[in-house]
Amino acid sequence: MKYLDPKNDLIFKRIFGHHKDLCISLLNSMLPLQNPIVHIEYEASELVPDIAFLKNSIVDVKCTDEDGRIFIVEMQMEWSDSFQSRVMFNASKAYIRQVRKGEDYKLLYPVYALSLVDDIFDPDPETYYHHYQMVNIADTRRQIKGLELVFIELPKFKPDKKSEKKLHDLWLRFLTEINEETRDIPEQLGSDPKIRKALSLVEESAYSEQDMIYYEKVEDAIRTHRTYLSDAFAEGERKKTIEIVKNSFEAGITIGQIASITGLPASEVMLILDYKDGYVTDDEKSLTLNEPCAKYTVSRKAGGAANWRKRK
């Protein structure tokens, strides 16, 4: 049996945007609700931003329960600084759209936004669940009700054996453990009827050829974007290291010491100083591990950039 990744736009929406019982189960297990959801009605998801990559990585499932509460579920593959603001904007938009001209603001129902993020954005290595409310700073027990936001960092989630049968853990295991590499379904997942139903919806055989073309398109867009981000980060780190090497050497720190500070081999430190930044010795001799900065000038080699050696 071949399975597909439930975090993919097409699959996530098929599971939680077309099967009310599964969406209710997910929401009840993830949100801090005083009263559980019993019934929902789906609403049109018109809040997707007009950005090509985000259209492939954000899934909006919007629904309302029998008590009038509004729920927005999103699957976000990549974290960005603007994502949290966008979630707040969408939740606020859903909140104020309830008011019609002449109606009382007291009739407004609360909005809950659940964002499942396949990325790490918080430095705390242990906390994966982030619940935001509008509270009084002096006394956080005092709350202005209306908007509640929950962000879950999927890569940080680690199942707890003590709660292996809780739906909260089972749904997160479903989202983090099931993908194209899955061959055997963990016993705990197969034991719950709701998760079993969701598993049947991630079987590749359940999708048409056209569905699979869209699925691969989304996966390719995600891979391409992640490669771009990784390359951009690596390039930024490389430039930062070069700057550290150059500044340290100009401050009189020896090449051997710089190698210890940066973790680079001494030969690479010398390569950076000798070629990458165009620094040369007065007598054009090779660098040594204890070469002091005083022997350097900031003159460029004849021929300029053509003579610089690129560090791999």
At 146, is the secondary structure helix, strand, or coil? strand
Q: Which positions ≥6 away from 265 have C-beta within 8 Å?
A: 259
pLDDT at 98 over 60: yes
pLDDT at 295 over 50: no
89 or 103, which is more confident? 89
Q: Which positions ≥6 away from 164 have C-beta within 8 Å?
A: 170, 188
Q: pLDDT, tens digit, for every residue of 224-253? A: 777 777 777 777 888 888 888 888 888 888
At 147, is the secondary structure helix, strand, or coil? strand
pLDDT at 278 over 70: no
- Would you say 29 and 171 are in contact if contact means Cβ atoms under 8 Å apart? yes
Residue 286 is predicted with a pLDDT of 46
Using left for φ > 0, alpha for ψ between -120 and 50, and beta otherwise, residue 68 falls in left
- Would you say 273 and 253 are in contact if contact means Cβ atoms under 8 Å apart? no
> Rounded mean pLDDT of 43-70?
67
pLDDT at 301 over 60: no
- Would you say 128 and 156 are in contact if contact means Cβ atoms under 8 Å apart? yes
> Rounded mean pLDDT of 76-105?
81
Instruction: Say which range, 142-156, 212-226, 244-258, 277-291, has the weakest mean pLDDT.
Output: 277-291
Strands lying side by side in the sheet with 70-76 = 40-43, 58-65, 70-76, 111-117, 143-153, 129-135
Which residues on adjacent β-strands are paired with residue 64?
41, 70
Residue 164 is predicted with a pLDDT of 65
- Distance in angstroms (rounded) separating the CA atoms of residues 53 and 16: 21
The helix (run of H) or strand (run of E) holding residue 42 is: strand 40-43
pLDDT at 84 over 90: no
- Would you say 108 and 99 are in contact if contact means Cβ atoms under 8 Å apart? yes
- Distance in angstroms (rounded) separating the CA atoms of residues 94 and 70: 8
- Would you say 48 and 58 are in contact if contact means Cβ atoms under 8 Å apart? yes
Instruction: Say which range, 35-44, 154-163, 200-209, has the weakest mean pLDDT.
Output: 154-163
Residue 238 is predicted with a pLDDT of 82
Please give the full DSSP string across 206-247, using - where no structure is assigned: GS-HHHHHHHHHHHHHHHHHHHHHHHHHHHHHHHHHHHHHHH
- Would you say 241 and 32 are in contact if contact means Cβ atoms under 8 Å apart? no
> Rounded mean pLDDT of 159-186?
89
Amino acid code (one letter) for 241: T
pLDDT at 288 over 60: no
Residue 208 is predicted with a pLDDT of 93
Residue written as tokens 């099931």?
178
At 176, is the secondary structure helix, strand, or coil? helix
Q: Which positions ≥6 away from 3 have C-beta within 8 Å?
A: 178, 179, 180, 182, 199, 202, 203, 204
pLDDT at 222 over 80: no
**33 closest CA partner among 161, 194, 177, 150:** 150
Q: pLDDT, tens digit, for every residue of 175-206? A: 999 999 998 998 899 889 999 999 999 999 99
> Rounded mean pLDDT of 206-223?
87
Q: Which positions ≥6 away from 285 have C-beta within 8 Å?
A: none
Instruction: Say which range, 21-35, 72-86, 265-279, has the weakest mean pLDDT.
Output: 265-279
**168 closest CA partner among 37, 18, 29, 1:** 29
Q: How far apart are the first and last CA of the chain?
A: 42
**Res. 293 pLDDT band, cuts 50 70 90:** very low
For residue 3, give the DSSP letter: B
**Res. 276 pLDDT band, cuts 50 70 90:** very low
pLDDT at 282 over 60: no
